[in-house]
């Protein structure tokens, strides 16, 4: 670990990721193994003007024991104090930093029904928090740093120290933290590039996109009237810019809830609920996932897709060129934050309201009228991009436009 680069990373997250404002509180979600990075995030947040920093600590081993042994009542409960902590902080405009770093298989062998039940309980009680973050009403940023179990999964042929060192190097490259360069300047240029791609897609105002590749994907995705392609950063209602994911390489929008038909195959393993799911296949009809399978952990996948009515429909369409930095690294991270930024992907579950004009302030009825998948407690990204992926867009005039050819943007 390079301490200087690590501190630059922490400052990047505080100053560009959530863009801490003078007098703003900050909340850090972090595992116990990453306490040193949490301390640097705390320092960087205070230096940027934070009034107070709160914490929510987790631990892989404790989490596993909880899901294996806790009483059924506990599994089905999200306590008032826990829900109100997140809901009230989101109302106060707190900046949320989540450090997504854990053993990718920490919950392997745990009953998927217990995982699903607790997820439903928590997400239902924290619905206000999730709604506010999904609609950009408070700044949030998800980042990651290595932990030994994760590094060992990514680089199984290396000893622990070498694996950790290699993963640090890959993460610093992915988040554009390098010696001799200002990471904020790097991110400003990067976000401008992503925004230019989004502008091109918005000018086309496609009616639909058709996906195909040699894995067997053959999927038609209709886009709603007034859809907006987004990229890089977002803005709160007060105009404060923030970056939800570091790294990010995607431009994304929302599909029509009932306008997706065909079959789609995953191209990378999906880390979900402390398990690794491989070989995902979805069949969709009128937007709904009507059939699914997976080569591993299919029970985990089914529990997630069947969480609620909205989780059975897509909520995000994201484009990432195969020729992008994370993809070119050749590293399979077993961490969706990184793997989704190496590959085109979809998400099943709730859509981002900001992906449609005026969506941030739209009512549930207005979003439903636009056929946006606005009601779900899930939002799970799964990767589908390949080196031979083709995406053909159809305009409202019926013109066909090649959007992706051989896995990359055609423009």
What tokens were used for 253? 């929008």
Q: Are 343 and 385 in contact (CB under 8 A)?
A: yes
B/e letters for 202-222, b = 16+ CB within 10 Å, e = fewer, are eebbbbbbbbbbebebebbbb
At residue 84, does pLDDT exceed 90? yes
**Count of the separate structural domains present in the chain:** 2
pLDDT of residue 98: 98
At residue 360, does pLDDT exceed 90? no
pLDDT per position as a tens digit, 50-66 = 999 999 999 999 999 99
The CA-atom distances, in angstroms, between 126 and each of 251, 308, 328 are 27, 15, 38
Q: Are residues 236 and 135 in the same domain?
A: no
Residue 396 lies in a domain: yes
What tokens were used for 153? 């999964």
pLDDT of residue 362: 86
Sorted by sequence, the CB contacts under 8 Å of residue 350 that are 6+ apart come out as 130, 134, 310, 315, 373, 374, 375, 376, 377, 378, 379
Name the percent of the chain lying above pLDDT 90.
Answer: 94
Quickly state the pLDDT bin for 363 (edges 50, 70, 90): confident
Residue 232 lies in a domain: yes
pLDDT per position as a tens digit, 199-215 = 999 999 999 999 999 99
First CA to last CA distance, the chain: 38
Q: When comparing pLDDT for 364 and 88, which is higher? A: 88
The stretches of 242-363 forming alpha helices (DSSP H) are 298-305, 325-328, 336-339
Residue 163 lies in a domain: yes
pLDDT per position as a tens digit, 250-261 = 999 999 999 999
Residue 307 lies in a domain: yes
Q: Are 22 and 49 in contact (CB under 8 A)?
A: yes
**Residue 163: which domain range?**
3-174
Q: Are 257 and 313 in contact (CB under 8 A)?
A: yes
Q: Are residues 111 and 153 in the same domain?
A: yes
Name the percent of the chain lying above pLDDT 70.
Answer: 100
What tokens were used for 328? 């070119």
Which of 349, 338, 347 minimizes the C-alpha distance to 378? 349
Q: How far apart are CA 167 and CA 229, in angstroms?
A: 31
Q: How far apart are CA 291 and CA 295, in angstroms?
A: 14
What tokens were used for 59? 């631990």
Residue 405 lies in a domain: yes
Once rounded to an integer, what is the mean pLDDT over residues 257-282? 97
Quickly state the pLDDT bin for 409 (edges 50, 70, 90): very high
**Mean pLDDT over each residue of the chain, to the nearest integer:** 96
At residue 1, does pLDDT exceed 80? no
At residue 2, does pLDDT exceed 90? no
Q: How far apart are CA 23 and CA 31, in angstroms?
A: 26
DSSP state of 107: T
Once rounded to an integer, what is the mean pLDDT over residues 88-111? 96
Q: How far apart are CA 127 and CA 87, in angstroms?
A: 8
Q: Are residues 321 and 378 in the same domain?
A: yes
At residue 3, does pLDDT exceed 90? no
Q: Are residues 72 and 148 in the same domain?
A: yes
Which of 98, 109, 197, 88 minimizes the C-alpha distance to 145? 98
């Amino acid at each position: 670990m390079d301490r200087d680069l690590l501190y630059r990373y922490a400052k990047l997250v505080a100053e560009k990721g959530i863009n801490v404002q003078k007098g703003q509180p900050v909340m850090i979600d972090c595992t116990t193994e990453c306490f040193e990075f949490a301390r640097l995030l705390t320092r960087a947040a205070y230096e940027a003007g934070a009034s107070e920093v709160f914490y929510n600590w987790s631990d892989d081993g404790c989490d596993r024991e909880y899901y294996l042994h806790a009483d059924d009542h506990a599994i089905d409960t999200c306590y008032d104090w826990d829900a109100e902590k997140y809901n009230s902080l989101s109302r106060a405009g707190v900046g949320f930093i989540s450090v997504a770093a854990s053993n990718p298989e920490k919950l392997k062998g745990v009953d998927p029904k217990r995982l699903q039940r607790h997820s439903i309980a928590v997400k239902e009680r924290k619905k206000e928090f999730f709604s506010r973050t999904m609609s950009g009403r408070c700044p949030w940023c998800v980042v990651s740093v290595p932990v030994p179990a994760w590094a060992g999964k990514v680089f199984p042929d290396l000893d622990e120290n070498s694996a950790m060192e290699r993963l640090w190097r890959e993460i610093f490259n992915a988040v554009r933290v390098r010696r001799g360069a200002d990471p904020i300047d790097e991110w400003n240029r990067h976000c401008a590039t992503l925004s230019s791609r989004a502008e091109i897609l918005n000018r086309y105002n496609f009616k639909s996109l058709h996906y195909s590749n040699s894995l067997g994907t053959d999927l038609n995705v209709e886009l709603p009237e007034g859809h907006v392609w987004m990229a890089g950063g977002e803005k709160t209602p007060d105009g404060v810019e923030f970056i939800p994911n570091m790294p990010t390489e995607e431009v994304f929008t929302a599909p029509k809830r009932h306008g997706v038909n065909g079959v789609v195959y995953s191209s990378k393993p999906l880390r979900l609920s402390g398990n690794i799911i491989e070989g995902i296949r979805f069949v969709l009809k009128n937007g709904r996932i009507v059939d699914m399978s997976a080569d591993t952990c299919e029970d985990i996948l089914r529990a997630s897709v069947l969480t609620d009515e909205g989780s059975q429909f897509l909520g995000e369409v994201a484009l990432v060129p195969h020729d992008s930095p994370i993809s070119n690294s050749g590293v399979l991270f077993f961490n969706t934050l990184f793997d989704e930024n190496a590959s085109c992907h979809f998400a099943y579950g709730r859509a981002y309201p900001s992906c449609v004009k005026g969506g941030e302030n739209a009512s549930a009825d207005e979003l439903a009228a636009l056929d946006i998948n606005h009601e779900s407690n899930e939002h799970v990204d799964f990767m589908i991009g390949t080196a031979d992926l083709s995406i053909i867009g159809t305009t409202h005039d019926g013109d066909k436009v090649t959007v992706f050819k051989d896995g990359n943007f055609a423009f």
